[in-house]
Structure 1
Amino acid sequence: MKRFGLLGGVLSHSFSPQIHSVYGDYEYKMFLLAPEALEPFFKKKDFDGINVTIPYKQAVIPYVTSLSPIARRLNSVNTITVAPNGNIYGDNTDYRGFSYMLKKAKISVTGKKVVVLGSGGSSRTVYAVCEDEGAAEVIIVSRGGSINYDNLNTQSDAEIIINTTPVGMYPNNGRSPVKLDMFSKCEAVADLIYNPLKSALILQAEKLRLNYINGMSMLAAQAKYSSELFTGIPLEDELIERAVDTVNGIMQNIVLIGMPGCGKSSIGRVLAKRLGKAFLDSDTMVYNKTGKSAAEIIRSDGERAFREEERLAAQNAGKTTGSVIATGGGIVLDERNIDALKQNGIIVYIDRNIELLETADRPLSSGVEALKKLYDLRNPLYKKHSDFIINGNGSISETADLILLK
């Protein structure tokens, strides 16, 4: 069997094996190497083809026999194959991957002013694609360049924003390289980050109703083109979306919101077991940190103190992938919580009749009138922030079934 894999310096969060499993039935290993291990690795040639990721896309060039034209132009190699005579060939499929990403999102740079955030290797790839597709102007923004983040307001007429920096990437979620509202003519945003699925930059674009796309399709597309180089077998582009769906399914969280006592925690445990996902409860996360329940904090320190702990819990829960997350009833009161949970999550509102809600040990909804007042306040927020609304009047199992049908 042919031996393929991924070479890099940090591989713990890579989805390449899952993606390549869509493209072929072949061995795909992780080669986590220190810089000093590169030379012996290439001398041994114990592989038939490898993908290369940071920080080695340039460092591997001295070890290849020849480069493809695009790899030479970009001075970057992300795909290596070994010929029968032992020669090592370096190629770059990131260029085609980014082109696919733009086409999938129906983002045309032709005749447009494009601002590219970052000046690293990915920036060179993005610049080349934009140049070849006829962008009117491509501006590279870097911390030390003539166009930088301090004078970026001079580029407020940009129509397309493309982020190639790691700002906002896991585990530093929630950060954005720019505020999009400074770009009055912006119509589309492309972010090469794919973890989280919706970076802070993408969440801004969503709120502004701009066209946007994350980097998952580029990742899957470049892998498809690499697979073709590895095996010599052409593949249909439809497989790219299958690979995207595969990884999204692994990463995606299901976030449950709704009134206190609607059964979010119980439903969440059932869902997590059925889907093979981890289960998190924001109230439990608060208790594990403080040693107090939500009710105890509210009684002893006030609601504001609890909301701050809840915000931190939402922030940490939102960074996770592959989880079912049950939230407290007031999670929707702070939009920062929603942003954190939307990074990797589909938000499901469990709408249960107030007559059926459990009210024991719930200081904010302890009486009928208080409960109705709370519902009137929060129901519009639940609806606003949810992707799906589920009738929660049935049993725990029945409600879980309804969520799974979505």
Structure 2
Amino acid sequence: MAGAGERRFGLLGRTLAHSWSPAIHARLGSAPYALFEREPQDVADFVRNGGWRGLNVTIPYKRRAFELADETSARARRLGVANTLVRRDDGSILADNTDLAGFAWMLDAFCRRELGGAAARVLDGERVLVLGSGGASKAVVAALTDVGARACVISRSGADGYEGLVERHADACLVVNTTPVGMFPACPASPLAEGQIESLAGLKGVLDVVYNPLRTGICLAAERAHVPAESGLAMLVAQAALSAELFLGRAVPDEVIADTLAWLGRTTANVLLIGMPGVGKTSAGRALARLVGRPFVDLDDAVNLQCGMSARELLSRHGEDAFRRAETKVAAEHGRRSGLVVACGGGIVTRPENYPLLHQNGTIVLLRRPLSQLSLAGRPLSQACGLERLEHERSGLYASWADVTLDCTGSAGSDARALRRLLGL
């Protein structure tokens, strides 16, 4: 067992390769923080005898952590599971649960920002649809109950199912997804059928406890319906901050939570460069990736790897449709990942289905420069169609897809530095 003065923190789970918890806790001060992957038969010995001071616990071990503790908090007993364990100075283990409070923090911040007031005021007596009936659902329902909302649990196996949802709950003001539908890598996907979000006439907001991708399928559907939405990154950071308070024995200020959330959003979001052929997406992207220490992907190169031939060969042998299908496939593969710099082909915007694939987990940046400065060399579509025609056909699409725009400064290096400043990287 670790000595009373040893401060060793971490996350206990079965598969943790993509966890962001170490980076979050490093900023919150609860470090060193490690990932502890354990098989079910090893959990009891690790919890009781492992050399740790504070643990976060994720699925599938939250119930087991609750059972193995010497003492449980009221919050943990309310939900019957624990996501935080603290080894006290006498060696005993306290089980707590910060999921409820983490969602409550996210809910209140969302209501204040998007709905004009504290959750307890704007949701009092209002119907809220909670998709899913698992462990996360219980925490969400408890938080909603605490602010006076009428939580209606929608599940495939329960009495209140997805079929006929719109007719039964037309007055719902909020939808919260607690299912894993839409979670990386099966993204973007939504637990609701096409058109259901748009058909909820009284809907004022959509929340998702899934945090990867940054914009889940249900959040993208809400965006299309012009309904405010947020995925679960805020809940992830808020519950981590509450765990850090238990680990460290001191409060984490709200501004630290907000700063950590903003930093994590910038860090995990892809940077996706779009623009006319020859504008400099590849060279600027490579320079930016080197500058900020991120992996770089050129989607034309990714098509080459997938098809065994260059984009130019694919276009000449099989036509533009075949190239666009291959481009969409690699856009889906890389668009769902995190923390990349991606140079997209000039025609990526010609297929509407590519937009959610890129938008779900990134910031789309439009690069612009005068047509007279664009090269036609090695660009068969530009040569065949002409730059003026391509610009006429695509300029509106580029503008509608872009989150930010950069007028190129003259060199790849200076463009990269400008992008770093623009995006706060």
1:188, CA displacement in angstroms? 0.2
Equivalent in the alignment of 2:305: 288
Partner secondary structure for residue 60 of structure 1: helix
Q: In the superposition, relative to structure 1, how do residues 86 and 404 fare at CA in structure 2: closer, same or farther (>3 Å)? A: closer
In 2, are the aligned partners of 1:9 and 1:33 still within 8 Å (CA)?
yes
Identity of matched residues, %: 39
Partner secondary structure for residue 335 of structure 1: coil
CA distance in 2, matches of 1:277, 1:120: 36
Equivalent in the alignment of 2:178: 164
- 2:135 matched to 1:121? yes
Partner secondary structure for residue 267 of structure 2: helix
TM-score, structure 1 as length reference: 0.96
In 2, are the aligned partners of 1:19 and 1:246 still within 8 Å (CA)?
no
Q: Deviations over 1:347-387 (max 9, x none)?
A: 111111111111112222116x7221110110111011101
- 2:341 matched to 1:327? no
CA distance in 2, matches of 1:22, 1:365: 47
Q: Deviations over 1:156-187 (max 9, x none)?
A: 33210000111111010111111412322111
Partner secondary structure for residue 130 of structure 2: strand
TM-score, structure 2 as length reference: 0.92
Indicate which of 391, 395, 400 corresponds to 2:407: 391
Partner secondary structure for residue 284 of structure 1: helix
Partner secondary structure for residue 119 of structure 1: coil
Equivalent in the alignment of 1:174: 188
- 2:154 matched to 1:141? yes
CA distance in 1, matches of 2:420, 2:35: 34
CA distance in 2, matches of 1:28, 1:308: 43
Q: In the superposition, relative to structure 1, how do residues 402 and 84 fare at CA in structure 2: closer, same or farther (>3 Å)? A: closer
In 2, are the aligned partners of 1:280 and 1:324 still within 8 Å (CA)?
yes
Equivalent in the alignment of 2:39: 34
Equivalent in the alignment of 2:3: none
Equivalent in the alignment of 2:164: 151
Q: In the superposition, relative to structure 1, how do residues 26 and 306 fare at CA in structure 2: closer, same or farther (>3 Å)? A: closer
CA distance in 1, matches of 2:420, 2:291: 9
Corresponding letter in the other structure for 1:142: S
Structure 1 residue runs without a partner (length 5+): none
Q: In the superposition, relative to structure 1, how do residues 359 and 393 fare at CA in structure 2: closer, same or farther (>3 Å)? A: farther
Corresponding letter in the other structure for 2:148: G
In 1, are the aligned partners of 2:30 and 2:247 still within 8 Å (CA)?
no
Moved more, 37-46 or 220-229: 37-46
Q: In the superposition, relative to structure 1, how do residues 99 and 25 fare at CA in structure 2: closer, same or farther (>3 Å)? A: closer
Equivalent in the alignment of 2:100: 95
Large movers: runs of 4+ above 6 Å: none
Equivalent in the alignment of 1:374: 390
Equivalent in the alignment of 1:362: 379
Superposed counterparts of 1:6-405, under 5 Å = 6-24=11-29, 26-106=31-111, 108=119, 109-135=123-149, 137-153=150-166, 154-178=168-192, 179=194, 180-366=197-383, 370-392=386-408, 394-405=410-421
CA distance in 1, matches of 2:415, 2:32: 41
Moved more, 338-347 or 37-46: 37-46
Partner secondary structure for residue 365 of structure 1: helix
Corresponding letter in the other structure for 1:376: H
CA distance in 2, matches of 1:88, 1:401: 49
CA distance in 2, matches of 1:61, 1:331: 49
Corresponding letter in the other structure for 1:371: L
Partner secondary structure for residue 94 of structure 2: strand
Moved more, 115-124 or 55-64: 55-64
In 1, are the aligned partners of 2:100 and 2:143 still within 8 Å (CA)?
yes
CA distance in 1, matches of 2:63, 2:242: 19
1:326, CA displacement in angstroms? 0.3
Q: Deviations over 1:232-282 (max 9, x none)?
A: 112211111222133223311110000111111111111110010100011
Q: Deviations over 1:194-227 (max 9, x none)?
A: 1111111111222222122111111111111111
Q: In the superposition, relative to structure 1, how do residues 131 and 372 fare at CA in structure 2: closer, same or farther (>3 Å)? A: same
CA distance in 1, matches of 2:248, 2:377: 62
CA distance in 2, matches of 1:327, 1:39: 48
1:25, CA displacement in angstroms? 5.5
1:45, CA displacement in angstroms? 4.3
Partner secondary structure for residue 300 of structure 2: helix
1:393, CA displacement in angstroms? 5.7
CA distance in 2, matches of 1:259, 1:2: 53
In 2, are the aligned partners of 1:356 and 1:393 still within 8 Å (CA)?
no
Partner secondary structure for residue 59 of structure 1: helix
In 1, are the aligned partners of 2:30 and 2:248 still within 8 Å (CA)?
no
CA RMSD for the aligned pairs? 1.5
Partner secondary structure for residue 105 of structure 1: helix
Moved more, 77-86 or 97-106: 77-86
